[in-house]
Chain A
Amino acid sequence: MATTAQLTLNSGDIAGDPVNVTKLMTLTKAGTTNDLDQSSGLNRVHLRSTTNKVLLAANAEGNDLAAKVYIINKSEDASLYVTVTINAQTIGKLYGGDFLFIPWSQTDTDADIEIAATNWTSSTGDIPVEYALFHEDTDFLTNA
């Protein structure tokens, strides 16, 4: 049982020579070569609020354990963005089509991953967001 993630970055014109980077990783438990063996599966939510919503609730038991998070803004409008925060610290903005793939340390129970449709209005329509969590511990609250 294994989970792999591969990132490919390519550009023919951002530099004088083509840029091609491909990185493949197998998701493993912290500090080992043992595969991560638990997953939230792929989830989809529709945001229609400018206030922060808890996407993934931190569990202090997860501290020092491995967890990987995938989030994508599935909006087709390039101007609509989702602000991603951890413990109220803004990480960045996912504009329509953008995704992230990050490790997640649950240093304490305040380390929730929250998202907000910051520039949403009633006329913009919902912002669909998909996400998945891969982790290792046995007592994990995957959804708030």
Chain B
Amino acid sequence: MATTNATIDIASDVTDNALSVSNTTQLNTAGTTTGVNTMTSVTKVLASTNQVDLIATGSVSTTHAYVYINNPSTDETQHFKITIGDAGAGLPTDTEEIGRLYGGDFMWMPWDVNDDICITPSTSDDMTVEYMVFS
């Protein structure tokens, strides 16, 4: 099994006493200390404001995965809505919006692989999205 580590470093001086957080975790299969052994890395260019499946459940064969999504745009006004849910019917109302990734933003989360992860660009201009899945 592979050894893959994820590290988060957060630094903030919003409060009077600065906040500094640093944690590293090994990416393991569900409930074990055995490392994940599969990685997918994709870059896509979207040119429509339609909601589309970004990461489908059928692309992962486990019930626990880790997902990284990045909006590499340098335009801070361009964002992606990231949603999760049953997009099978093609209705945005079937999904729950997690949040919006503006230009330069990333997200990192576990994924239970029960529902697709969907994405909606804010503009029909070409927008690039990058993602990685570890499982």
A residues adjacent to B (C-beta < 8 A):
1-15, 19, 21, 23, 25-28, 30-33, 36-39, 41-42, 66-68, 70, 72, 78-79, 81, 83-84, 86-87, 89-95, 97-105, 107, 111, 132, 134
Contact = CB atoms under 8 A, between A and B. Distances in A.
Contact of A23 (B13, B70, B99): B70
B110 A92 contact: yes
A90 B10 contact: no
B6 A13 contact: no
Interface of B: 2-15, 19, 21, 23, 25-26, 28, 30-33, 35-39, 64-66, 68, 70, 76-77, 79, 81-82, 84-85, 95-102, 104-112, 114-115, 132, 134
| B contact face: mostly helix, strand, loop, or mixed | strand
A113 B33 CA distance: 27
Nearest to A3: B12
Given A3-B12, A5-B10, A25 B76 contact: no
Contacts of B85: 89
Contacts of B4: 9-11, 14, 19
A103 B39 contact: no
B30 A132 contact: no
A100 B76 CA distance: 22
A7 B108 contact: yes
Given A9-B5, A132-B19, A37 B77 contact: no
Contact of B31 (A2, A38, A70, A95): A95
A138 B36 CA distance: 41
A31 B68 contact: no
B43 to A, nearest CB: 12
